[in-house]
Structure 1
Amino acid sequence: MYQSRYHYQNDLLSVAIDSLTGELLELIYKPTGENLIKNSSFLLHQPFQLFASLKGEKIRLFGGDTYSIARDAQLKPHITHEETENALLIRVSYNKLTDGEKSYNIPLCYQIELSRDTSELHWQLSLSNRQPELLIEDLRFPCLNGVYLGDTWEDDTLVYPYNAGLKIQNPVGFFCEKSPCIYWKWQEYRYVYSLGNIAAGPDEDGLYAMDFSYSGPLSMTWLDYYGEDLGIYFANHDPLPHNCSLRAETYGTSSPGMNFSFVHHPYCENGGNWNSPPLVTAVHRGDWHRGAEIYRAFRQNNVPAKKPKRPHWFEKSPGLVAHYDFKYQNGGVVHRYKDIPRLLDEAREMGLNHLLLAGWHRDGFDHGFPEYRADADLGTEEEFREAVSIVRQKGGHLSFYINSRIANTKYDPTGAFTAENAVRQKDGSPFVEAAGNRDLNFAVMCIHSSEWRNRLQSAVQYATERIGADGVYLDQLAMAPPCICHNPAHGHSWNDWNEGYRSLLKQINNKTSTDAPMSIVAEGVSDAYNADVSGFLVSTFSYYYTGAFPELYKYTFPEQILVDMLYPESNMAMRPVHIGQASTDIINKAFVTGSYFWVYDLVDDNTFHRDPKQFRYLKDVITLRKYWLETFGHGIFRDTDGLLEIPGTLIKRFELPGGVLLAIAQKQAACGECSMEYSPKIARAAVYTVKETAVQKRLLSFSAQEEKVTFSMPQEPISLIVFDNME
């Protein structure tokens, strides 16, 4: 009997495969009978697409359709299935692929494993390139197209791991919205800030897409898309940090539905073979928290768990004061080495004991890379060492800025260092870019170059062992996108850029001779580096209006410390006005999520000292955060698990040994009661608030019934509530 589609199922999921073409047609959640694939575009292909080049011509390859198979029978796939004790294995094998007109000799097989007792699909793909002169550059797999949940796409939500995370309601509509842009000039820098959607498009296919690379802006390899009571988890479960990107796209409201795919970079030439990592699709009840739990379990089971390397003082520190104003790119000098002890005293007035110095080296910030040595314009090296020693003797801590990615070509007059160690592009030229002053050119260095890694290691050793700092900030490390380098002398494969940075971090941690571990703060955030850094700078201000949601990363990896920049409300030149207008909201979010505060103190350009009202608020927040850390520790971030969320109030839950802590921030005093699911018996509860940098404590009345505790909300702008269990 003819079957137009083959159905494969367990008690929870059913998938349908086109019997002629091998395309994925249906993904049905059986408890509700809903097919999640609601809009199948004629132009898109699922579950895979290849992007290749042949003699300089770009082509797209996929499985044949009815008409191409009629012309060439070898395009018809062979579809089989096999039942094992625990799963059903579906295999779709192609001898050839097509671009819609011609056939190409590229055998490919994709496999779906449908476990018997879960709502998960496990995907894998293998291919061989037997087509002369063809290069397979990119591959999208698995492609899941036209998805929305329930009766409408308008009440669906997407969480996507851009930096620490984005949360986007109605992404079908949001992605196609025109986003206002704010342009801002500071010194030699020209910035553009989006006040909304950051999806690009429409592209040549008419799609609006977010497509970010791991591990540049993409911090984790999963997303979650959910509605009122149902969600879909889409993830790459590769235990190694190979390069890839995660694509979320839509045609918008004119043809609703979301498309999801991972973009892999095989760079598979004629005669080569390639195998995908394991990839997972899971349908689940509830919201994004379930997706985070699945991904966390994968990481714990497949990646050796190590506690993040960070010193004890960093664990107890509420934040740092950043000085980028020693020597600017244009040569302007604001501070000299002899000023460093005074800068510590000023930081302590805020309640902070950790300084970050940028522009401390030859030719200054965003200029003298990688000349990380003392600059005579700022004082002698001996003055530098003496100033740092005074800070350390006073119990202060110092981190120095080092850019982990770029080198100024002006220090390479012959071009030999750049030619040997920079990222080599496909045409053989080095990858060069500009930052700030367009007269300065910076080569992007290949992290797999041993000479470049040794140069960075030497810079770290100079800062920590010769000068005496006890930390470094590695700019661009987990934020700039990975590169594909065409220099075979570096000994790398096409997709292991992230492994190079892991090697750098291990080299720094293992070879620096200081007794105590140093603090390492990296720009950006990546689970590839979780075990090797003290904190990740997430800079939510830069995408605050696009749906910034650091809770996504923090909930997935609650043991990590996220570092976030805080800004004054007024009299700020470094950032545009709209960021100052969100000052209180950004401070409050950093507080309730347990972030490490990054506070600039740039004379005239970015300092809370020119905003006395917000400075007082900042000092209160720092005071309460410092008390929190010293008295209770970090706790384990649980977001809003079991909490009644109150409009206008930020409230987050942290598990403590023998209790729970709630961090609360609100612009206006909340009214009424809050409730929390909680099963242990509570002995006592207390509220901690702060007034004029003094912490105040009072007992809190509560009622407990049927594994739920109810209490009145505090009226103060920021507060902590701590419940202690009965012993």
Structure 2
Amino acid sequence: MSYRNTVLFGLVLTWLLLPRFTPGPALAGQPAPVELKTAEARLLVDAQGRLAIEPADPSSPAPAPFRTPLWVLTLAEGTNVFRPGRQVTVSQAEPPRVSATSHGVRLLYDGIRHGDKLLDIQLDLTITVAGNEFHFGGTLINNCKDRIVTEWKYPILLGIEAARNAPEHVAPALLWPDGLGRRFPTRESFGSHRTADYPGMGGTMQWLAFTHGQTGLYFACHDDQCRPKTFAVATSSASAGYDVSLKHAPYCAPGERWEAPPTVLMPYRGTWHVAARHYRQWGESWLEPLPKAQWAQDSTGWLLAILKQQNGDLMWDYGKLDRLADLAEERGLDTLGLFGWAHGGHDRYYPDYIPDPKMGGPELLKQSIKKVRDRGTRVILYANGQLIDSATEFYRLQGVETMVADPRGAPAFQMYNKFKATSTPIFVTACTAAPAWQERMLALALQAHDLGADGILFDQLGVVGPKQCFTQSHGHKTPTDSDARFELLHKIARHMHQLDPQFIIMTEGVVDAEQADVAYFHGCGPGFFYYEPGPAETLFAEMFRYTYPTFTGTQRAPHPLLTRNFANFACTFGLRFEIESRYTADVKYLTTDEVPTPQEYADCNSPPDVSLVQTVPRQQSAQYMNQVAELRKQHGDLLLRGRFIDVDGLVVEGSGIVAKAFESDRQVGVILWNPGAEPRSARVSVTNCEFSAAYAPGATAAVDRNAPVEPESIRLLVWNRQ
């Protein structure tokens, strides 16, 4: 699937609705602020509930002192969370009662003010110390008889700047959890505002960081229930830095209370890797991953093939799966991803997946899958995890039981039109919490297993952002609780693992907590597509890859080929290869010596890069892919099963060379990638390791570690641990 469209209008409103107050001096006679300390910072809370954070290193990023508001609530008229009325945003209250506790400080707001009314809504906020962390906790108590608390922004930190000890404060760099990651070195590169909606492609993890030199500020939500939330950052109008907030959607009804998951603020010293390791350690403390099938960890990549397109173009019948396996093998790929394998073709008639008589029927499909698997190639069958075609019997009979609906009962529509000359199927979005939808998805996994496949891909469940469903009969307690993708994947993965430990679940994109149940990810989003790292580049795959060093996922390459640099990019960041055969012209490229013309793709709404198809010979692409795949298999303990460690322990001298490291228990391997058009040299040393040898794709023996790396080439340098 292609990227979903993102709309920033809501973020603009987020910041327009935030009242801005300038800091004032402490009032005469007010008690001294309550002080909390870690080894890296101290935090002050004054009698008005305002904060100041003072890092031990004055150059470290920190918010402006004693700014308000700390929180904002959105209230809706009514008592039924599934039928909220008119909404208002409020950020004023009676002054809090501030008191020191054994572990921190408590701020108790006894009422929320809206205009001249004092609403019976309490906020019981706590800030505590745990190690070097400041934990922001809170309980919302709604005793207002006719208001629902639909949103809660907390905490809000304004004016985050670095180098407060210098004459001119500066904006820190920002690490942002979009796809595999982004890094914005300047305010200009960041823009005016962004949101990260977790879980989804735009919010793949629950952390971000502001960095400056060898210092940083970690901002995260340690929510092991992985509930939907929105991180928002905007350039500050009152400083050189940024404003940041975290928004929850509690839908807290009258008479209810809601406890916020802890937000963690941690000033630190060191590179951004300190923040990534901190989030990783928190995740390891509670996430219980299913044992991963070894074949998935060892996979070099897949050939994604659409057998039948949305418009009915039949490109591969079931009898040709063996030919697809030939094409994969020629390129060093060990897996086939079969899309459009059912009667409706790709992106039509979901969630009905019936083996197509026109392609040979169910028995030929079974036989062909077995034949492919017998030769050592794995097979994954496609199913969409969240789309219902409105033209199906399933929608007619079970639509209300399964679809996401707004407060008026109207479905949420989506459209994916592959061809200009073909009418667009109209999809409605499924509620992943609906029992009927969960039953259908499990049935599809069982069907894939019965057909002999090695796994099933539930498309889009790592891509789409959280949805709110207002259909009470689905069983979710609030509209927000309807986003149950983790529960859905967990149930299916555990059921299928008991049936067959080698059968895997895949999805498109990635959300961190999905790694508990998804063995292999089909890449989608920033960092999965090709880019060349550089000082001004904002794509930053290192963020996710370093946080999760054994992550297994493909690059995203919507072409029937990889260029040398596309293959090098995947190897450098530890992503598995991907090529895609989606259109009849792609099949022509893969199976003949004829070069497709632009006109052959003219009807396609999302064609491959036609210039690549026309200029990169298929045999040349296949040969280099195979050579890199062989290098990865020969050094699989590093390049397939190893841990991505970025530049930990490395000293690299040279320009224009990308260096990334992987480690096993015994060795460290460093990939040197020269994406440029001229030979480039680099010298590398690794702390506490002894150099062993250097290797290159296609070379029959070790190569000279000191020779320049040729254009569009990679080299593997291996060290043994001492």
Aligned to 1:162: 178
Alignment of 1:451 onto 2:436: yes
Provide the aligned C-alpha RMSD in A.
Answer: 2.8
Q: Is the 8 A contact 1:686 1:699 kept in 2?
A: yes
Distance 1:405 1:90 in 2: 44
Q: Is the 8 A contact 1:221 1:235 kept in 2?
A: yes
Aligned to 2:123: 108
Aligned to 2:302: 320
* Shift in CA distance, 95/483, structure 1 to aligned 2, threshold 3 Å: same
C-alpha deviation, 1:612, in angstroms? 3.3
Distance 1:414 1:329 in 2: 19
TM-score of the superposed pair, with normalisation by structure 1? 0.82
Instruction: Find the partner of 1:658 among 656, 663, 666.
Output: 666
The DSSP-based 3-state class of the residue aligned with 2:261 is: coil
C-alpha deviation, 1:378, in angstroms? 1.8
1:22-81 alpha-carbon deviations (Å, 9 max, x no partner): 132x2111343878223887xxx43211112236332112234xxxxxxxxxx1211101
C-alpha deviation, 1:255, in angstroms? 4.9
Alignment of 1:175 onto 2:190: yes
Matches within 5 A, 1:284-433: 284-301=268-285, 303-306=286-289, 308-324=290-306, 326-412=307-393, 415-433=396-414
Instruction: Find the partner of 2:100 among 77, 81, 90.
Output: 81
The DSSP-based 3-state class of the residue aligned with 1:267 is: coil
Aligned to 1:95: 110
Amino acid at match of 1:722: V
1:213-239 alpha-carbon deviations (Å, 9 max, x no partner): 324531110011101121000011112
Distance 2:390 2:583 in 1: 30
Distance 1:219 1:398 in 2: 27
Q: Is the 8 A contact 2:681 2:709 kept in 1?
A: no
C-alpha deviation, 1:700, in angstroms? 5.2
C-alpha deviation, 1:356, in angstroms? 0.8
Distance 2:546 2:406 in 1: 38
Matches within 5 A, 1:24-173: 24=51, 26-32=52-58, 36-38=62-64, 45-54=68-77, 56-64=85-93, 75-82=94-101, 84=102, 87=103, 89-99=104-114, 102-115=117-130, 118-150=131-163, 151=166, 156-170=172-186, 172-173=187-188
1:554-587 alpha-carbon deviations (Å, 9 max, x no partner): 111112212212355xx99xxxxxxx9xx65544
Q: Is the 8 A contact 1:208 1:251 kept in 2?
A: no
Aligned to 1:221: 206
Q: Is the 8 A contact 1:216 1:482 kept in 2?
A: no
Alignment of 1:14 onto 2:50: no
Aligned to 1:595: 575
Q: Is the 8 A contact 1:674 1:713 kept in 2?
A: no
Distance 1:266 1:699 in 2: 59
Alignment of 1:723 onto 2:719: yes
Q: Is the 8 A contact 1:7 1:17 kept in 2?
A: yes
Q: Is the 8 A contact 2:433 2:483 kept in 1?
A: no
Instruction: Find the partner of 2:445 among 460, 471, 475.
Output: 460
Aligned to 1:475: 459
Aligned to 1:557: 548
Q: Is the 8 A contact 2:161 2:239 kept in 1?
A: no
Distance 2:61 2:581 in 1: 54
Which stretch shows the higher mean deviation, 519-528 or 503-512?
A: 503-512
Amino acid at match of 2:261: P
Aligned to 2:473: 489
Alignment of 1:675 onto 2:684: yes
Distance 1:689 1:413 in 2: 53
Aligned to 2:607: none
Distance 1:91 1:235 in 2: 20
Q: Is the 8 A contact 1:509 1:517 kept in 2?
A: no
Instruction: Find the partner of 1:263 among 228, 247, 265.
Output: 247
1:467-522 alpha-carbon deviations (Å, 9 max, x no partner): 21112221111111122222232222334445443343432442467544223221
Q: Is the 8 A contact 2:493 2:518 kept in 1?
A: no
Aligned to 1:210: 195
1:452-472 alpha-carbon deviations (Å, 9 max, x no partner): 11111111221221x211122
C-alpha deviation, 1:161, in angstroms? 1.2
C-alpha deviation, 1:712, in angstroms? 6.4
Amino acid at match of 2:542: E
Alignment of 1:528 onto 2:507: no
Q: Is the 8 A contact 1:40 1:145 kept in 2?
A: no
Distance 2:363 2:682 in 1: 60
Distance 1:381 1:46 in 2: 62
Distance 1:591 1:371 in 2: 37
Q: Is the 8 A contact 1:249 1:260 kept in 2?
A: yes
Q: Is the 8 A contact 2:60 2:215 kept in 1?
A: no
* Shift in CA distance, 642/542, structure 1 to aligned 2, threshold 3 Å: closer
Amino acid at match of 1:123: F
Aligned to 2:624: 620
Q: Is the 8 A contact 2:409 2:470 kept in 1?
A: yes
**Structure 1 ranges of 4+ moved more than 4 A:** 151-155, 497-500, 541-546, 583-586, 603-609, 669-673, 711-716
Q: Is the 8 A contact 1:94 1:108 kept in 2?
A: yes
* Shift in CA distance, 259/377, structure 1 to aligned 2, threshold 3 Å: same
* Shift in CA distance, 120/651, structure 1 to aligned 2, threshold 3 Å: same
Alignment of 1:538 onto 2:518: no
Q: Is the 8 A contact 1:477 1:501 kept in 2?
A: no
Q: Is the 8 A contact 1:28 1:35 kept in 2?
A: no
Amino acid at match of 1:591: C
Percent identity for Structure 1 against Structure 2 = 23
Distance 1:514 1:272 in 2: 41
Instruction: Find the partner of 1:23 among 43, 50, 72.
Output: 50
Amino acid at match of 1:313: W
Distance 2:220 2:568 in 1: 31
The DSSP-based 3-state class of the residue aligned with 2:516 is: coil
Q: Is the 8 A contact 2:388 2:427 kept in 1?
A: yes
Unaligned runs of 5+ in 2: 1-27, 79-84, 532-536, 591-612
Q: Is the 8 A contact 1:640 1:652 kept in 2?
A: yes
Q: Is the 8 A contact 1:63 1:94 kept in 2?
A: no
Instruction: Find the partner of 2:655 among 644, 647, 650.
Output: 647
Q: Is the 8 A contact 2:75 2:151 kept in 1?
A: yes
TM-score of the superposed pair, with normalisation by structure 2? 0.83
Q: Is the 8 A contact 1:554 1:562 kept in 2?
A: no
Aligned to 1:547: 538
Aligned to 2:593: none
Distance 2:56 2:396 in 1: 63
Distance 2:460 2:395 in 1: 26
The DSSP-based 3-state class of the residue aligned with 1:638 is: strand
The DSSP-based 3-state class of the residue aligned with 1:566 is: coil
Distance 2:508 2:117 in 1: 46
Amino acid at match of 1:77: P
Q: Is the 8 A contact 1:211 1:246 kept in 2?
A: yes
* Shift in CA distance, 239/450, structure 1 to aligned 2, threshold 3 Å: same
Distance 1:217 1:618 in 2: 33
How many residues in Structure 1 have an aligned counterpart in Structure 2?
Answer: 644
C-alpha deviation, 1:534, in angstroms? 1.5
